[in-house]
């Protein structure tokens, strides 16, 4: 059983979600379908985006901020952080540039979110 606060709209419904042995999910407290989908996802396969930064070589800034192109399973957050930590990108960096493609085989890319010019 899991209680989560839905983050999709300002209502912030507190939704109780539980799953029985057969995998059937029961929900309590949601006011819309989007909220129900969110609560089920949170219970069954919670996903998060990760935002961090990578080192930049020869750039006018030492770091370029990055994020994932799609959310990943919650339990992969720290492995993804380890993958990011080892990276140095060469300037110039363009917003939207793919820094790591299909990171850890999770089906999403690590993408730069800041423009960094060459020194």
Partner 1 sequence: MTEYHAVIIIGGGPAGLAAAVALHDKGVRGILILERERHLGGILRQCIHDGFGLTRFGEALSGPEYAERFIDAVTSRGIKCITETTIIELTGDKVVTAVSRSGLCTYQASAVVLAMGCRERTRGAIAIPGDRPAGVFNAGVAQAYINLYNTMPGKKAVILGSGDIGMIMARRLTLEGAKVLAVLEVLPHASGLPRNVEQCLNDYEIPLYCRHTVTGIHGKSRLTGVTASRVDEALQPIPGTETEYECDTLILSVGLIPENELSRMAGVEIDPHTGGAVVDEHFQTSVPGIFAAGNVLHVHDLVDFVSLEAERLAASAAEFVHNGRLPCCPVNIIPGQGIGHVIPQRISGDYDAVIAFRVRNPLRDCIVSLMRDEKIIVSRRYKKALPAEMLHITFPEGLDNNGDITVVAVAQ
List of residues contacting partner 1 (CB under 8 A): 4-5, 7, 10-12, 48-53, 55, 61-63, 65-67, 74, 77-78, 81, 95, 113-115
Q: Could you tell me the smallest distance in angstroms from the CB atom of residue 7 to partner 1?
A: 4
Least distance in angstroms from the C-beta of 22 to partner 1: 28
Residue with tokens 């949601």: 30
Question: Residue 44 or residue 81: which is nearer to partner 1 going by CB?
Answer: 81
Instruction: Work out the angle at residue 85's Cα, subtended by the Cα atoms of residues 83 and 89, and round it to the nearest 5 degrees.
Output: 95
Q: Which is nearer to partner 1, 9 or 25 (CB)?
A: 9
Write down the least CB distance from residue 46 to partner 1, Å.
8
DSSP secondary structure string for all residues of 28-91:
ES--SHHHHHHHHHHHHS-EE--EEEEEEESBSSSEEEEEESS-EEGGGHHHHHHHHHT-EEES
In the bound state with partner 1, the residue whose beta carbon lies nearer, of 26 and 85, is 85
């Amino acid at each position: 059983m899991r209680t989560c606060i839905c983050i999709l709209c300002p209502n912030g419904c507190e939704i109780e979600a539980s799953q029985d042995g057969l995998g059937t999910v029961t929900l309590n407290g949601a006011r819309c379908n989007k909220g129900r989908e969110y609560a089920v996802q949170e219970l069954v396969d919670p996903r998060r985006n990760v935002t961090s930064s990578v080192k930049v070589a020869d750039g006018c800034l030492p770091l370029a901020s990055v994020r994932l192109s799609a959310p990943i399973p919650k339990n992969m957050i720290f492995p993804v952080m380890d993958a990011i930590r080892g990276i140095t990108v060469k300037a110039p960096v363009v917003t939207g540039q793919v820094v790591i493609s299909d990171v850890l085989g999770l089906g999403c890319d690590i993408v730069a979110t800041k423009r960094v010019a060459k020194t």
